[in-house]
Structure 1
Amino acid sequence: MKKLVLAIVTASAVVAAALIPSGPPVQAASKGFGSAVSAVRQSAWQTNSSVNALAIAGNTVYAGGLFTRIRPPGAAKGQRESVRTYVAAFNKTTGAPTTFAPKLNGAVYSIATSPDGKWVVIGGDFTTVNGVKRSKVALFNVATGQLAPSWAPVVAARVKALAIYGNSVFIGGAFTKIAGQVRNRLGAVTLSTGALLKWNPNADDDVYALQTSDNGTRVFVGGPFTTINDRDHYSLAMVNSTTGAALAMPAASAIPKPTWQCTTRVKTIDTLGNRVFIGNGGDGAGCYDGIIAADATTGKLLWQSKCLGANEALKAIDGWLYKGSHAHDCSQDGSFGDGTGTHFLLVHSVANGKLGPWFPNTDADPNSTTQVGPLAMAGDSTGLWTGGDFRNVNGKGQQGLARFSSTPGGAVPAVPKAPALTAGKAKVTLKFTDVYDVDNITLTYNVFRGNTKIGSYKYNSYHWDARKSYTVTDTGVKTGQTVGYRIEVTDDRNTVKSSTASVKVK
């Protein structure tokens, strides 16, 4: 038997491959997808306007925002709607709504659930819940869905961010008082009674994001502020969760100070283990929109992504950092450049910040007040929820909410074209074009002559790249034979096949 000549990559493919970030991408073995969840959208109900906040308690997902109605998947706006005024809850497994339906008189901008899963706190602009006075914050019992009758802190203005650890509820926003006491944009109350705590970091401008460290000793604060406790802490601070004192955070120096050309501010924060992830959004062309990963104890910078396109939401799950943004240029990170469209949903490796294998997408509602796409994320090892002002997910109608699952299956690679064949003397040269898979970067290409596999090759591909061509020469044929070839592409779970092309060997 004559030997098969191994695949020869064309010059154009070599150049394209060189643009892929260094280091092998992590890939699936049997799930069908390479990150913690698949890019395939799962069934979930929709909202009639923006979702600003999401949080999970047990098997319940809480959503808050500007919406006043929800509707089933597939239903058009205005059809089969149920009333939910600014807050709703959904079954995490099925995406269907629960009976939780408090009546609020104003929008919700933040939600947090207690670590024990027993309580959920919402924050926003509202002043009444079910006709009962509640000033910008309210507490509900997760098991019963009932408003906590005596928990009623009075917050003077919008609550934009919430975080809970132990018996402390940390509050951030636009206010200057809580319970009649001075608390400039940051304060805390007890989870058990709502009593005001001494915690008082004193920010000089609004707070957009709050997150506690996993051990509860730190509170990470983000927003357009410039000082904490009258000391310079531009847009990001790491604060002691008991005293309110700001701690040194070297990673914060990676966020550029405002200039006449650029103002950037922290908009979203999440933690995983001893790492904290901070996402920025900037104003102005080329203004910093990056992500910082830092040590949650020392504040030391671990890595930084400098993609352009403001970050609105981050969620770390099982070694992957999912982001909702309007990323349009990641050439600074060695990935896609401007002109490839807006990539509203992406994932980064927690370890090094490189873009990973997860490429669903949304749009942004041009008629919304925000017009940015995804605005909130929540998830765990079972899946990821995202909310925002979008109207479509993966090219199909799905307003306000989207759900992605870790259940094995995943997206199927695109179907390859039949190979182009050139017959030579006792040989056939095949040229085939790569495809992409929204759940994987590395795909395996198996080349078949009839039912005989004559070669297997692994190549990296991204949907925003120009398609690359590869060449294989088969010398295991005889003059006068008519032979057929096909390409099979697999992500190690899902396999697709090209049609067969035939040629007569010279």
Structure 2
Amino acid sequence: MKKLVLAVVTAAAVLGAALIPSGPPVVAATSGFGSAVSAIKQLSWQTNSSVNALAVSGNTVFAGGLFTRIRQPGKPAGQGEAARTYIAAFNRTTGAPTAFAPKLNGAVWSIATSPDGNWVVIGGDFTTVNGLPRKHIAMFSVVTGKLVAAWDPAVNYRVKALGIFGNSVFLGGSFGTVDGKVRNRLAAVRLIQGDLLPWNPNADDDVYAIDLSDNGTRVFVGGPFTKVNGKDHYSLAMLNNTTGAAFSFPAAAAIPKPTLKCTTRVKDIDTLGDKVFVANGGDGGGCYDGVLAADVPTGKLLWKNNCLGATEAIKAIGNWVYKGSHAHNCSDSGAFGDGTGTHYLLVESGINGKLGPWYPNTDANQASTTKVGPLAMASGGNDLWVGGDFLHVNGKIQQGLTRFTNAPGGAAPAVPKAPALSSTLANQVTVSFRDVYDLDNISLTYNVFRGATNIGSYKLNTYYWEPRKTITLVDKGVKSGQTVSYHIEVHDGRNIMKGPAFSVKVR
């Protein structure tokens, strides 16, 4: 029977607590993980080079990039491969490829699917598809996988970004003309007919990202441009979907203008509900690399996360914003600092931008042209697909493409070590143990057992980059001369990890 339990947290815990972001902790759901998807990598095929773009339509995921072959899960390069030239499609449920296999003569940099699920549009460097002329843009039927024969806008250079709403396809990139008409880096064509629309915002430099508000009336564009329609709009603008005129967008002022020491530009944009999320990557030490959130109707800034390490891709799911970056210092946001490694995959709260409970990881292929890790993200609502130039995910072979889902279970906490025990006073034992971490939970419950009796429970917030905490309790429910055994069990809401037992003789 438990008589008295006293808990003491050591100085290591105080240091760790300083790193915990402010605000209430995220408690694991009954699924066993704290955000929308778990940190467990699910089976999916791989690619032999970078995936630059992803999009979802129903139960199909389209991936485009620099790859020319795909291969089976877990296989090293050269084994279990099939040909796919710069574009492929995969089953969302199984991760296996579909029969969709067009032949392109150049890389794909952007993909968008129509809201009705019928069409998929791709953009990039290619000029032929299945031997037919297609100048940097092409459309396929999602149902049949066939190229739409009569849809052939002619763009004179790379299409880097795409967005679709209603009967309009918005495109951005490095081009200067569409169908022979001047369209500097931004244009729109009709989805069904493919003919050029009057929309002409006229950006003065490349466009990297496009997304539309849920009602389609606002088109968000980002890139290294400084002007749109001849007016100052550095790297980010919110445009009318019909006229191309820019709306007031106060949040854009949160992106610093270029200096001799820092040039930052928008890399990705994702909208969800009444929020738009914007990812940036900068050149120069301490240059802005983070994510900001803005209110769609007003354009006002809601929050800004200043993690260092360029953010290449983002995807909002529910109240979470998943990010692919090479983050190495988030101390300005109350999290890890330099020296803890590169955190290629993270999640932020869509409400306040604080880091949340999701810490899988990739690497970055240093032989690739980009060398940054994740480059693209997409979701069907209950999963997250990630593409990039990586070679491994969670330490296992998985090149170019991976996926995470909301399948119950999630990552289990690490197995706790045996507690340290001492008995220097009669009828009592001092029990000390170290906390552990979980890759998709922050809040963990620690139960201390004397034999089969739970003598103490502690709910602690733990982050894997912080110094491990030591928790100490005094058990006065023992008698002198007894030999008693203790062990620790850690619970994340679904998974329970039991540590080894250790015994001591009571003084």
Q: Which residue of 2 aligns with 1:434?
A: 435
Matched, 1:465 2:461: no
Matched with 2:368 is: 368
Q: Secondary structure at the match of 2:378?
A: strand
Give the TM-score normalised by the residue count of structure 2: 0.99
Distance in 1 separating the partners of 2:214 and 2:488: 48
- CA drift of 1:2 comes to 6.4
The aligned counterpart of 1:32 is 32
Q: What is the CA-CA distance between 1:27 and the residue it aligns to?
A: 2.1
In the alignment, which residue of structure 1 is the partner of 2:480? 479
Unaligned runs of 5+ in 1: none
Query: Which amino acid in the other structure matches residue 307 of structure 1?
Result: C
Give per-residue Cα distances to partners, 1:274-309, cap 9 Å, x unaligned.
000000000011111111100011100000000000
**CA deviation after TM superposition for structure 1 residue 322, in Å:** 0.2
CA distance in 2, matches of 1:261, 1:491: 44
Q: Cα offset for 1:18? A: 2.7
Which amino acid in 1 is paired with 2:168?
A: S
Corresponding residue SS for 1:16: helix
Does structure 1 residue 399 correspond to structure 2 residue 396? Answer: no
Aligned mates of 2:58, 2:51 — CA distance in 1 = 20
How far, CA to CA, are the matches of 1:360 and 1:415 in structure 2?
18
1:85 Cα shift?
Answer: 0.3
Hey, what does 2:213 align to over in structure 1? 213
Quote the residue 1:445 is aligned against.
446
Deviations, residues 68-114 of structure 1 (Å, cap 9, x unaligned) = 00000011111121100000000000000000000000000000000
Contact 2:13–2:467 (Cα < 8 Å) also in 1: no
Aligned-residue RMSD, C-alpha? 0.8
What is the aligned-residue identity percentage? 70
2:255 aligned residue:
255
Give the aligned residue type for 1:488. Answer: E
Q: Which stretch of structure 1 is more off in the superposition, 380-389 or 363-372?
A: 380-389
Query: What secondary structure is seen at the aligned counterpart in 2 of 1:156?
Result: coil
1:396 and 1:60 map into 2 onto residues whose CA distance is: 25
Kindly state the Cα deviation for residue 11 of structure 1 after the two structures are TM-superposed: 2.3
Letter in structure 1 aligned against 2:23: G
**Counterpart mapping for 1:78-477 below 5 A:** 78-423=78-423, 424-477=425-478
Write the distance in 2 (CA, Å) between the matches of 1:458 and 1:80.
46
Indicate conservation of the 8 Å contact 2:172/2:208, yes or no: yes
What SS does the aligned partner of 2:171 have? Answer: strand
- Measured in 1, the distance between the counterparts of 2:400 and 2:276 equals 27
Amino acid in structure 1 at the alignment position of 2:488: I
Q: Secondary structure at the match of 2:97?
A: coil
| Contact residue 446 and residue 488 of structure 1 kept, 8 A | yes
8 Å CA contact 1:417, 1:432 repeated in 2: yes
Partner-residue secondary structure (3-state), 2:252: helix
TM-score between the two structures when normalised by the length of structure 1:
0.99
Which AA in structure 1 matches 2:91? N
State the one-letter code of the partner of 1:265: R
Task: Tell me the equivalent position of 1:50.
Answer: 50
Q: Retained in 2: the 8 A contact 1:159–1:171? A: yes
Asked whether the 8 Å contact 1:381–1:406 carries over to 2, the reply is: no
Larger mean CA deviation between 431-440 and 375-384 belongs to 375-384
Q: Is the 8 A contact 1:27 1:357 kept in 2?
A: no
Whole-Å Cα distance in 1 between the matches of residues 302 and 129 of structure 2?
43
**Does the 8 Å CA contact 1:122/1:139 hold for their aligned counterparts?**
yes
Q: Which 10-residue stretch deviates more, 63-72 or 21-30?
A: 21-30
Alpha-carbon distance, 1:318 to partner: 1.5
| Letter aligned with residue 201 of structure 1 | P
In 1: Cα distance, 2:283 partner to 2:10 partner: 42
SS of 2:54 mapped into structure 1: strand
- For 2:465, give the aligned amino acid: W
Q: Deviations over 1:410-453 (max 9, x none)?
A: 01110000100011311111000000000101110001111011
Cα distance in 2 for partners of 1:425, 1:342 equals 49
Q: Tell me, which stretches of 5 or more residues in structure 2 are unaligned?
A: none
1:302-334 deviation per Cα after TM superposition (whole angstroms, max 9, x unaligned): 000000000100000011100000000000101
- Distance in 2, Cα, partners of 1:213 & 1:29: 30
